[in-house]
């Protein structure tokens, strides 16, 4: 597998990151925005694992970082979804543009 | 004498005001406090004489230094020379007068007197502090009370004026701050005397002098940054106007002298022509603008611009005599304008108008107040026997010592302003004091005891300086000589 | 290392955790009325604050993941003080609230996160602390359950913080990739100004900037502040900001020291932007909380200038200013929260003629605003002065001039509020407010702090002696 | 020479009176204040006579030369070690002479006012002001320091302002007072700058020092001031000319004379004191005081001469056409002062050439008496008729014989009929003019004729002309008004015989003068002719004057309208300065400078309105900006900054 | 090229394709599924990189936890079937620009940096090493973060409960609560099974 250089994997992760960002920018549905964020976090995970494997195999920093990122991502998602649901109860909509009363 | 007394006394007074209840108590406390301050100031003067006559020639007397913020070399360093003492006396007398004229202040009296005292505290601190940080600290203390005084107790478009005044003065302090920073990082000290010992690099001076001078200049109504003066003075309640013109405009002049010129003499030389230009414009321009005003307070405010022009001119001319003149002019203008505003306030409180056109013949019903008005007017047009004459003539003499033709022309223009002054003063006097009286005013009453006392103190000061100028001259000369020493250094270095 | 030392070093974190569990038990136990709970909580918090001051020891444990020293302890004490004051101020609001304990649980766990973040020795702990301080807050922002705006605020907070942490992680991953370590001390030697590392740094910095709401990463701030309950707003504006600034200072000064001439410019640029934009937005606001939000943005700009100074002065001045900022801002928020909790009014126009009905509160608010504006003799003057003084260290005078002149604008809007309270007239002014005892104490502490912190120099000297030389 | 120290009391007594009356008078002893003032002034007068006696006859003369004695000196304000204002008292011939004139005339006026101003509400104030004026005038004449002169110069100005505006409820009076003050102030500006110039080059303000430095050709001060120049004119000339402008302003020389006629709005005794005898001659006195320096500079003297002679003629012509008796007197005063001026102008320093100097002083001396007499007489008349206009008068000689006699004497004196006082002094002046410049002599001669003409026009139309229709209600007025008239009349006859020239001369040596009969024929003859003409025209009411007036046509109109000088001034102030300087500046200040300050705030507000779209409330946009910020920073600092 | 390379390319293509589809799909349910696929693809990538443990967690937490959670919430908000509103064109434009720029910029930087330093030292990430390190307080010990994270999860749980729980006046909504609980459960369990090792 060594003929796949690190930069290829980084290409994938970076691309995924910005795909996620694109999704965050464009999606008007809050839940889909959340998905986009998950994509971004995953790309970061890929980075960490890849770096750890390719460059610094002697320590497992990257791996652990990935684990914690996953956990926190879960927590974040949970809270976010709770908020979204509550918002849905109040606004009867989960279109992010409807949640823009606070401005200027 | 322990100079900190000059800060502690107002502080105690202010606390006392906060603790006391009811107009009667409050004003008694305030008056007592202010009189004690006046006493302290006079005591200081006496001690100063004794020290000097005992042959103490150190530039600053009674100076005390406490380390304040050791890490930043900030000290609480205070001390006085003749100039500061003159200013302190001015402040003390204006404070007494101001409290006396606002004797019947009903609305929020406690706050009113508290703010007055607070303002005076700032002024005292400013005049005695020899550390740039302390100086700046007290300078800003003196700003905000004005805003509240004008905004709460003022008349006319008071909020606008108050806001304008506060913002312009704050802009001034901002500029001053930058100047201080420059000095600080060049000298690694805030101590005025220390800095004056070392000689700041020319380019530093050239860069930061404008900041400092402009900043203080805004306080001293330097053209074209004078526009806070008319509105501010016009909208302010009487006492506040007196404080504004009598004290806080002097902060600017004193700062220009003590900080900008004293610490950055080379730059002062380099820029003196600009300063003189602006000052001359201010003098002439202010005078002509005054000629067009119809509101007594506006008249006095604009004339203040013109008169403070003399202060700036004197400083800009950089000769010993002219600087003496500038200092005397500060004191004289302080007393004179305070008196003028007091008189205007008395008239306004009776006739409820300040419009020249609506007044007339007041001399018949209120001779005392009218006399005050005339005295203030004559002092302002530089009549011998009053302080204004001494100050202006000293400035002229000093300015004339610069042989340069442009300076000469500036001086002559400045002299010419005394004619214009005569015109507008006599116009105002003729219309309000003299002439036929309209019978709506025929029942009005003359000054009450407190007004008389207030006016008495101010008039006494004016006449004393006017009749015996050698006193104030001897008082301030050592200080100005000290400043001239710096300037002299600058020339020799050039 | 003795086990005991562990406890000494971790005592503040342990205190918080203990309180959290105590509260949990109380919750699980039988129903109690809010008064008793609040009383207990405030006592706990006071004890917590007190514990912070005892027995200072320095050291690093968990293989350097948790490091602490006197300065860090002091910073944590500031935060403890802040949360104590906040909890006393929000008494009026919480007294009628259903989920008091949950509220405190969230606040405290967020505080715990901040503590770990402050004393974090490596990026992992830093990241965990950051998230831990954010996520509960997002939930807490939603605590006005009935209010639409509250949930909108929460949403905005969680979404944008998730986004920013995504970028932050992206940056961290590159730092890890280029240096091969997550430990600050090892990292510092390996940071050079290679483009990728610069990029990583900028991403990381943006994460910080987001948390302290510096322009252009500030846009969530005002909305969240306005929507969230006042208690949360004051927590966000004071505590979380302060915590992140503490970390930012140490990270910039130690980890990225080698990039200092680069980040000097970045920080200065951001600082000026922040001040200007914050001011420009603040002058237009009518809602008190929103107004304070923008004013606090402007304040952050000044803090950044102080940071840019990059010297011992810089550190000291920043921490000093934050202490003052705690007092001033909390005093302001205290009054605002009282008014909004008791009278339900939050607009500046409602505050017209406030002085006639509530002179005491009016004075407190005035003093607070003056302190924020930097008017002597309040402490704010000293704070601002020293910040700018530190910022001038490297001799960039024109930016300082701009900053100084911006203070004039800030004066305008602070004075606007004062004007409304003292000078304007109003048909139906806010009625007389009966101040609860706790709020009284809190406001008193704030005012005392505002006066004392400035005039008595030993506080600054103490901080200065603690802060490391650059 | 401290044995002159008591002279200090002469000015200080009136000052004390002023303070006492000014502060307490009106409330406590309004009626008595007249007596008080008169008494204290009487003391001063006595003292001044004592001083004169001591100076002229006892110890003033040291080996044939009258010394300049500094009786007293105190450094009042020190500008720099060399330049300082010293309050001093100089005792020399002219100061002593002026001392006598001022005190004496002032005393007369005080006495006269006792009756004239009786029952005034502000009686005390009136006397306070009189005392103030007397004090200032005395201070002026005694000044040893040029700046001291300026100080008292201003003070007399303001006291004249106060006295003119005494009837402050009359708008005309207020206007006149303002006019007087402002015009003289304008002139004083010249004086001030002149002082500055002289002081700068002379390096002193002390008159004595200045004189000795600027009169000897060797001193470097003199060399500097003559070599330094501006616009091609030497600084000496500038300085002196400017000083002279100051003098011209006070002494109502053309074109600064416009305030004098209006000043007649004041009470008549005041006019007699200030605007006839004392203050208006201050200019002459100033020039005389600095005469040694003036004599060093020909062009300055030229200016003085021509201004003086022209003013004399100009005023005389106008005087022929006025109908307000006080205005006639005012113009005559102006014309007489013109005499004094050009007399100084034609003089030289020392010896025979100093004749003009002596003559001018002499005329000043005599003029003081008969002119104040004229004014007091006029006062008495007005007091009787309650009008200033000739048309309301006529045939009063029966009603007020004493006044009539006094007035007649005065007229003869001013016309220069021997042996009355005016004759002697005028002779000397004409003589001096004759020796120096024929043209001036001619003009002077013509003016003398005119003087006689208009004075007698005045005299006849008051006392003869038509029969008086008003019947004698109250007599000529109280004794207090008669006595001064009588005393002054006697003086008007007598003072001519004083051996003036032996006391006063340009160099203090004194010079012997004699009346040259042959020379006197021409002026006296002319004078008598013009008196006859006046008698012919005005002794009885007839139409001739009107005819002549119409025949003169435009010329008469011009003269009657005072050659439209007032209108010119009015035009300049009202139509030029106010609308074209004052208003524009006021406008600029309100709209441009203040407008700029306001503009700043509005701009700030505008910007904040504009950028509020940033805060759109849409969280996605926030994220976009967030990332935008990052990319901006990245690009900026990764590619540009290095 | 070798098999693993081809596999990598396939996986990469799959991840990216699914990702793109998940952010562009018009039906929310579909995009959720695409997200699922993309996440699975990432898990596959981990397998390919021989970090099986991470892959396992990836599948358990993401696939088993988060995506399920998301799908629940989609049901809760009754959105499953219908078309989602299109974003405005300008928004799309800006977003594409931003994303493209970001991608090119950062990848260019990465490429410039060129992580060429390849170590062939063995990279053995066995489960027990992870387990021991996770709970050890010594060098390379991660006990502190582990505890911190558990506190965080506790806080998050509380937050979710309070927010999602209907206040008493409304009828309790079982789902919301259960969502939260379930999510917490999954994530904690994911940690449990590490502990066991």
Give ∠ CA E17-E19-E20 in degrees, rounded to 5: 65
Structure tokens, D98: 């002026």
Give the closest-approach CA distance of D610 to chain E in angstroms: 21
Tell me whether chains B and A touch (3+ CB pairs under 8 A): no
E80-122 pLDDT tens trace: 667 777 888 888 999 999 999 999 999 999 888 877 666 667 7
D233-272 pLDDT tens trace: 888 888 899 999 999 998 888 888 888 888 888 888 888 8
Structure tokens, C432: 């007389």
| Mean pLDDT, residues B359-387 | 89
Cα separation of C224 and A102, whole Å?
Answer: 8
Nearest to B400 among D171, D189, D200 (CB): D200
Low-confidence ranges of chain C (pLDDT < 70): 1-2
Distance from first CA to last CA of chain D, Å, rounded?
87
Closest C-alpha to D370, from D258, D513, D491, D189? D491
Q: Is the peptide bond before B132 cis (omega within 30 degrees of 0)?
A: no
| Residue C74 vs residues C47, C56, C462, D157, D227: alpha-carbon distances, Å | 16, 10, 10, 75, 79
Give pLDDT, residue E169.
47
Spell out which residues of chain B touch residue C424, defining contact as CB-CB under 8 Å.
Answer: 159
Give pLDDT, residue B463.
93
Query: HSE (CB half, 13 Å, CA atoms) of B405?
Result: 5
CB C295 within 8 A of CB C414: yes
Minimal-distance CA residue of chain A relative to D617: A103
Profile chain A (104 residues) by mean pLDDT over runs of 10 residues.
80 94 91 92 94 87 92 92 89 84 83
Spell out which residues of chain E touch residue D635, defining contact as CB-CB under 8 Å.
Answer: 105
Closest C-alpha to B36, from B16, B63, B64? B16
Give pLDDT, residue B390.
92
B145-162 pLDDT tens trace: 999 999 999 888 888 999
Partner chains of C (3+ C-beta pairs under 8 Å) = A, B, D, E
Nearest to D615 among A26, A97, A103 (CB): A103
Checking if the pLDDT of D139 tops 50, the result is yes
CB C154 within 8 A of CB C139: yes
Spell out which residues of chain C touch residue B71, defining contact as CB-CB under 8 Å.
Answer: 313, 316, 460-461, 464
| Residue B447 vs residues B393, B458, B462, D26: alpha-carbon distances, Å | 33, 15, 19, 16
Spell out which residues of chain D touch residue E102, defining contact as CB-CB under 8 Å.
Answer: 627, 631
Cα separation of E30 and D148, whole Å?
Answer: 105
Checking if the pLDDT of B276 tops 90, the result is yes
| Residue B314 vs residues B49, B156, B322, B401: alpha-carbon distances, Å | 26, 34, 5, 11
Give the closest-approach CA distance of C282 to chain E in angstroms: 28
Region for D230 from its dihedrals, namely left if φ exceeds 0, alpha if ψ lies in -120 to 50, beta otherwise: beta
CB E37 within 8 A of CB E28: no
Would you tell me how many other CB atoms lie within 10 Å of the CB of residue D16?
A: 14
- Name the residue with tokens 């008080």: D36
Give the closest-approach CA distance of E139 to chain A in angstroms: 11
Cα separation of C109 and E153, whole Å?
Answer: 10
Q: Lowest-pLDDT range, B67-76, B90-99, D491-500?
A: D491-500
Checking if the pLDDT of D339 tops 90, the result is no
Spell out which residues of chain E touch residue D624, defining contact as CB-CB under 8 Å.
Answer: 94-95, 98
B32-76 pLDDT tens trace: 999 999 999 999 999 999 988 888 888 888 889 999 998 889 999
Give the closest-approach CA distance of D588 to chain C in angstroms: 25
DSSP secondary structure code for residue C378 in this structure: S
Spell out which residues of chain C touch residue E112, defining contact as CB-CB under 8 Å.
Answer: 195-196
Give the closest-approach CA distance of A94 to chain D in angstroms: 13
Tell me whether chains D and E touch (3+ CB pairs under 8 A): yes
Q: Lowest-pLDDT range, D5-19, D192-206, D210-224?
A: D210-224
CB contact under 8 A, A81 and E70: yes
CB contact under 8 A, E155 and C109: yes
DSSP secondary structure code for residue D568 in this structure: H
* Ranges A84-93, C125-134, D413-422, D524-533, most confident: C125-134
CB D563 within 8 A of CB D485: no
Spell out which residues of chain A touch residue D620, defining contact as CB-CB under 8 Å.
Answer: 24-26, 28, 33, 96
Checking if the pLDDT of E173 tops 50, the result is no
Spell out which residues of chain D touch residue B324, defining contact as CB-CB under 8 Å.
Answer: 79
Closest C-alpha to D490, from D573, D421, D558? D421
Nearest to C106 among E109, E141, E158 (CB): E158
Over the Cα atoms of chain D, what is R_g? Answer: 31
Residue B105's pLDDT band, with cuts at 50, 70 and 90, is: confident
Checking if the pLDDT of B215 tops 90, the result is yes
Give pLDDT, residue D642.
59
Which secondary structure element, helix H or strand E, spans residue D76, and what is its range?
strand D69-78
What pTM, to 2 d.p., does this model score? Answer: 0.92
Tell me whether chains A and E touch (3+ CB pairs under 8 A): yes
Closest C-alpha to B151, from E95, A23, D236, C419? C419
Closest C-alpha to B140, from C423, C314, C373? C373
Give ∠ CA D434-D437-D442 in degrees, rounded to 5: 65
DSSP secondary structure code for residue E165 in this structure: S
Give pLDDT, residue B460.
93
Rounded to two decimals, the ipTM of the complex is 0.91
Indicate the SS3 state at residue C2.
coil
CB contact under 8 A, A96 and D623: no
D521/B304: higher pLDDT: B304
Return the exposure string of B155-176: e unless at least 16 CB atoms fall within 10 Å of the residue's CB, then b. eeebbebbbbbbbbbbbbbbbb
Cα separation of D230 and B403, whole Å?
Answer: 12
Which of C149, C152, C171, C222 to mutate: most A Cβ within 10 Å? C152
Give pLDDT, residue C331.
95
E32-78 pLDDT tens trace: 999 999 999 999 999 998 888 899 999 988 888 889 888 888 888 87
Closest C-alpha to C266, from C199, C221, C218? C199
Residue B207's pLDDT band, with cuts at 50, 70 and 90, is: very high
Spell out which residues of chain A touch residue C124, defining contact as CB-CB under 8 Å.
Answer: 61, 64-65, 68
Give pLDDT, residue E189.
53
Which secondary structure element, helix H or strand E, spans residue A41, and what is its range?
helix A30-54
| Residue E172 vs residues D418, E177, E183: alpha-carbon distances, Å | 133, 9, 19
CB contact under 8 A, D617 and A21: no
Cα separation of B14 and B22, whole Å?
Answer: 15
Nearest to B320 among D80, D193, D230 (CB): D80
Phi/psi at D66 (5° precision): -75, 125
CB B319 within 8 A of CB B276: no
Q: What percent of chain E has pLDDT over 90?
A: 32
Checking if the pLDDT of E176 tops 60, the result is no
Checking if the pLDDT of E185 tops 60, the result is no
Checking if the pLDDT of D560 tops 80, the result is no
């Amino acid at each position: 597998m060594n003929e796949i250089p690190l930069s290829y994997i980084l290409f994938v992760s970076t691309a995924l990151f910005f795909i996620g960002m694109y999704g965050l920018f464009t999606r008007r549905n809050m839940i889909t925005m959340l998905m986009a964020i998950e994509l971004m976090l995953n790309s970061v995970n890929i980075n960490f694992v890849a770096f750890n494997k390719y460059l610094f195999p002697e320590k497992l920093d990257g791996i652990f970082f990935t684990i914690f990122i996953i956990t926190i991502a879960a927590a974040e998602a949970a809270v976010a979804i709770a908020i979204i649901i509550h918002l849905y109860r109040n606004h009867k909509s989960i279109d992010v543009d409807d949640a823009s009363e606070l401005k200027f | 004498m322990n100079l900190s007394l000059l800060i502690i006394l107002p502080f105690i007074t202010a606390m006392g005001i906060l603790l006391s209840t009811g107009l009667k108590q409050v004003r008694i406390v305030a008056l007592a406090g202010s009189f004690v301050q006046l006493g302290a100031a006079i005591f200081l003067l006496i001690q100063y004489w004794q020290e000097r006559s005992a042959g103490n020639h150190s530039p600053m007397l009674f100076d005390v230094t406490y380390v304040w913020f050791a890490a930043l070399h900030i000290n609480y360093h205070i001390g006085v020379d003749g100039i500061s003492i003159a200013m302190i006396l001015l402040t003390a007398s204006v404070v007494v007068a101001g409290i006396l004229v606002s004797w019947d202040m009903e609305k929020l009296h406690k706050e009113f007197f508290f703010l007055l005292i607070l303002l005076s505290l700032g002024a005292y601190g400013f005049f005695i502090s020899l550390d740039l940080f302390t100086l700046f600290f007290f300078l800003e203390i003196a700003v905000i009370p004005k805003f509240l005084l004008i905004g709460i107790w003022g008349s006319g478009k008071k909020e606008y004026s108050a806001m304008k005044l506060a913002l312009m003065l704050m802009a001034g302090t901002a500029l001053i701050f930058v100047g201080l920073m420059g000095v600080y990082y060049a000298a690694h000290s805030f101590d005025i005397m220390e800095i004056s010992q070392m000689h700041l690099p020319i380019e530093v001076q050239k860069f930061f002098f404008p900041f400092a001078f402009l900043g203080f200049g805004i306080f001293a109504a330097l053209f074209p940054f004078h526009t806070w003066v008319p509105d501010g003075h016009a909208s302010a309640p009487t006492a506040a106007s007196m404080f504004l013109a009598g004290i806080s405009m002097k902060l600017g002049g004193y700062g220009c002298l003590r900080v900008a010129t004293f610490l950055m003499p080379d730059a002062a030389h380099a820029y003196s022509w600009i300063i003189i230009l602006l000052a001359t414009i201010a003098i002439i321009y202010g005078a002509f603008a005054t000629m067009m005003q119809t509101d007594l307070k506006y008249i006095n405010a604009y004339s203040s611009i013109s008169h403070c022009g003399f202060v700036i001119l004197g400083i800009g001319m950089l000769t010993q005599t002219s600087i003496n003149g500038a200092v005397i002019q500060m004191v004289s203008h302080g007393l004179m304008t305070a008196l003028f505003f007091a008189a205007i306030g008395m008239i306004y409180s009776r006739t409820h108008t300040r419009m020249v056109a609506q007044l007339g013949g007041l001399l018949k019903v209120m001779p005392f107040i009218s006399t005050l008005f005339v005295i203030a007017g004559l002092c302002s047009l530089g009549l011998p026997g009053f302080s204004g004459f001494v100050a202006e003539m000293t400035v002229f003499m000093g300015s004339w010592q610069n042989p340069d033709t442009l300076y000469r022309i500036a001086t002559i223009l400045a002299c010419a302003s005394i004619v214009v002054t005569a015109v507008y003063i006599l116009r105002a006097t003729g219309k309000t004091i003299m002439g036929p009286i309209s019978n709506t005013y025929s029942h009005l009453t003359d000054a009450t005891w407190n007004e008389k006392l207030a006016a008495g103190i101010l008039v006494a000061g004016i006449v004393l300086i006017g009749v015996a100028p050698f006193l104030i001259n001897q008082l301030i000369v050592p200080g100005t000589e000290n400043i001239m020493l710096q300037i002299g250094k600058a020339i020799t270095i050039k | 290392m003795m086990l005991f030392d562990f406890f000494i070093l971790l005592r503040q974190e342990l205190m918080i955790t203990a309180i959290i569990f105590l509260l949990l038990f109380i919750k699980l136990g039988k129903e109690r009325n809010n008064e008793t709970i609040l009383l207990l909580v405030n006592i706990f918090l006071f004890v917590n604050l007190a514990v912070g001051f005892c027995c200072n020891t320095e050291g690093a444990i968990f293989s350097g993941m948790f490091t602490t020293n006197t300065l860090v302890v002091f910073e944590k004490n500031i935060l403890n003080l802040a949360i104590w004051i906040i909890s006393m101020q929000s008494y009026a609001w919480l007294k009628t609230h259903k989920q008091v304990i949950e509220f405190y649980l969230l606040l405290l766990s967020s505080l715990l996160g901040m503590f770990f973040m402050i004393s974090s020795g490596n990026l992992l702990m830093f990241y965990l602390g950051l998230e831990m301080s954010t996520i509960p807050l997002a939930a807490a922002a939603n605590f006005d359950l009935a209010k639409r705006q509250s949930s909108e605020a929460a949403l905005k907070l969680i979404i944008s913080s998730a986004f920013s942490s995504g970028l932050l992680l992206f940056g961290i991953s590159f730092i890890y990739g280029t240096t091969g370590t997550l430990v600050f001390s090892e990292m510092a030697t390996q940071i050079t100004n290679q483009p990728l590392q610069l990029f990583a740094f900028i991403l990381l910095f943006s994460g910080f900037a987001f948390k302290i709401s510096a322009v252009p990463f500030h846009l969530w701030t005002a909305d969240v502040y306005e929507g969230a309950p006042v208690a949360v707003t004051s927590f966000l504006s004071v505590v979380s900001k302060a915590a992140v600034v503490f970390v930012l200072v140490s990270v910039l000064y130690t980890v990225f020291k080698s990039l200092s001439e680069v980040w000097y410019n970045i920080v200065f640029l951001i600082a000026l932007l922040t001040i200007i934009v914050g001011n420009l937005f603040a002058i237009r606001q009518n809602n008190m909380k929103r107004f304070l939000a923008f004013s606090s943005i402007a304040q952050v700009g000044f803090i950044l200038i102080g940071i840019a100074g990059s010297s011992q002065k810089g550190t000291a001045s920043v921490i000093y200013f934050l202490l003052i900022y705690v007092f001033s801002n909390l005093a302001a928020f205290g009054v605002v929260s009282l008014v909004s909790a008791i009278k339900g009014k939050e607009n500046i126009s409602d505050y017209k003629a406030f002085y006639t009905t509530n002179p005491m509160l009016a004075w407190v608010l005035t003093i607070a605003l003056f302190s924020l504006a930097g008017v002597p003799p309040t402490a704010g003057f000293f704070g601002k002065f020293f910040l700018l003084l530190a910022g001038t260290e490297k001799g960039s005078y024109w930016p300082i001039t701009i900053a100084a002149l911006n203070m004039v604008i800030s004066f305008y809007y602070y004075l606007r509020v004062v004007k409304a309270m003292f000078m304007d007239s109003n048909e139906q002014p806010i009625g007389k407010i009966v101040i609860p005892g706790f709020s009284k104490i809190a406001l008193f502490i704030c005012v005392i702090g505002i006066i004392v912190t400035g005039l008595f120099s030993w506080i600054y000297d103490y901080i200065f002696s603690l802060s490391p030389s650059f | 020479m401290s044995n002159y120290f008591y002279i200090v009391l002469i000015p200080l007594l009136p000052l004390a009176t002023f303070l006492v009356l000014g502060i307490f008078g009106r409330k406590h002893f309004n009626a008595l204040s007249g007596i008080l003032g008169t008494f204290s002034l009487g003391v001063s007068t006595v003292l001044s006579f004592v001083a004169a006696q001591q100076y002229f006859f006892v110890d003033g003369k040291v080996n044939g030369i009258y010394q300049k004695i500094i009786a007293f000196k105190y450094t009042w304000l020190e500008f720099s070690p060399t330049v300082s204002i010293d309050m001093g008292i100089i005792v020399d011939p002219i100061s002593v002479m002026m001392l006598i004139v001022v005190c004496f005339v002032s005393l007369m006026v005080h006495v006269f006012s006792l009756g004239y101003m009786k029952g005034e509400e502000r009686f005390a104030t009136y006397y306070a002001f009189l005392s103030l004026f007397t004090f200032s005038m005395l201070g002026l004449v005694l000044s040893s320091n040029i700046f001291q002169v300026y100080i008292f110069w201003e003070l007399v100005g303001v006291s004249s302002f106060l006295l003119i505006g005494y009837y402050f409820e009359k708008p005309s009076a207020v206007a006149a007072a303002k006019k007087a003050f402002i015009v003289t102030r304008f002139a004083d500006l010249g004086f001030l700058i002149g002082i500055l110039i002289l002081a700068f080059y002379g390096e002193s303000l002390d008159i004595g020092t200045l004189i000795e430095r600027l009169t000897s050709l060797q001193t470097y001060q003199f060399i500097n001031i003559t070599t330094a120049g501006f616009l091609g004119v030497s600084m000496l000339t500038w300085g002196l000319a400017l000083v002279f402008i100051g003098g011209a302003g006070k002494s109502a020389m053309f074109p600064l004379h416009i305030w004098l006629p209006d000043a007649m709005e004041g009470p008549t005794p005041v006019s007699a004191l200030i605007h006839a005898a004392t203050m208006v001659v201050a200019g002459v006195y100033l020039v005389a005081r600095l005469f040694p320096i003036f004599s060093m500079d020909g062009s300055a003297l030229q200016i003085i001469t021509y201004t003086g002679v022209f003013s004399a003629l100009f005023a005389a012509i106008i005087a022929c056409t006025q109908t307000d008796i006080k205005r006639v007197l005012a113009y005559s005063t102006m014309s007489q002062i013109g005499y004094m001026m050009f007399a100084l102008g034609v003089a030289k320093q020392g010896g025979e050439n100093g004749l003009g100097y002596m003559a001018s002083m002499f005329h000043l001396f005599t003029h003081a008496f008969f002119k104040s007499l004229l004014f007091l007489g006029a006062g008495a008349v007005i007091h009787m008729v309650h009008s200033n206009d000739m048309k309301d008068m006529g045939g009063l000689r029966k009603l007020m014989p004493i006044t009539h006699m006094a007035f007649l004497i005065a007229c003869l004196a001013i016309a220069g009929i021997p042996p009355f006082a005016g004759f002697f002094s005028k002779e000397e002046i004409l003589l001096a003019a004759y020796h120096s410049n024929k043209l001036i002599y001619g003009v002077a001669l013509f003016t003398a004729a005119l003087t006689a003409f208009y004075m007698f026009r005045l005299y006849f139309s008051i006392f003869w002309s038509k029969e008086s229709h008003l019947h004698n209600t109250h007599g000529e007025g109280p004794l207090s008004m008669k006595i001064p008239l009588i005393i002054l009349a006697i003086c008007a006859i007598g003072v001519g015989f004083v051996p003036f020239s032996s006391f006063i001369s340009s160099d203090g040596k004194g010079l012997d003068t004699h009346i040259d009969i042959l020379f006197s024929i021409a002026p006296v003859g002319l004078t008598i002719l013009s008196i006859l003409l006046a008698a012919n025209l005005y002794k009885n009411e007839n139409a001739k004057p009107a005819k002549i007036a119409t025949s003169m046509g435009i010329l008469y109109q011009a003269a009657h309208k005072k050659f439209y000088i007032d209108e010119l001034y009015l035009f300049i102030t009202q139509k030029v300065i106010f609308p074209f300087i004052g208003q524009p500046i006021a406008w600029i200040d309100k709209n441009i400078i203040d407008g700029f300050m306001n503009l700043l705030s509005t701009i700030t507000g505008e910007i904040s309105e504009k950028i509020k779209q940033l805060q759109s409330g849409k969280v996605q946009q926030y994220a976009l900006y967030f990332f935008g910020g990052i990319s901006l920073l990245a690009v900026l600092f990764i590619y540009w900054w290095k | 090229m070798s098999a693993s390379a081809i596999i990598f390319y396939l996986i990469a293509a799959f991840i990216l394709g699914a990702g793109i589809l998940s952010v562009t799909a018009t039906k929310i349910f579909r995009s959720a599924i695409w997200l699922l696929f993309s996440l699975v693809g990432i898990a596959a990538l981990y397998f390919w990189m021989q970090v099986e443990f991470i892959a396992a967690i990836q599948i358990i937490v993401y696939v088993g936890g988060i995506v399920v959670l998301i799908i629940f919430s989609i049901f809760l908000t009754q959105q499953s079937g219908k078309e989602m509103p299109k974003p405005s064109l300008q928004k799309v434009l800006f977003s594409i620009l931003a994303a493209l720029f970001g991608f090119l910029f950062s990848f260019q930087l990465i490429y410039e940096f060129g992580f060429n330093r390849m170590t062939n030292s063995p990279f053995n990430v066995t489960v027990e090493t992870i387990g021991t390190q996770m709970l050890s307080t010594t060098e390379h010990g991660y006990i502190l973060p582990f505890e911190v994270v558990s506190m965080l999860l506790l806080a998050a749980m509380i937050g979710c409960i309070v927010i999602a729980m209907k206040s008493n006046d409304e009828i309790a909504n079982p789902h919301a609560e259960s969502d939260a609980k379930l999510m917490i459960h999954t994530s904690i369990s994911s940690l449990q099974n590490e502990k066991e090792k």
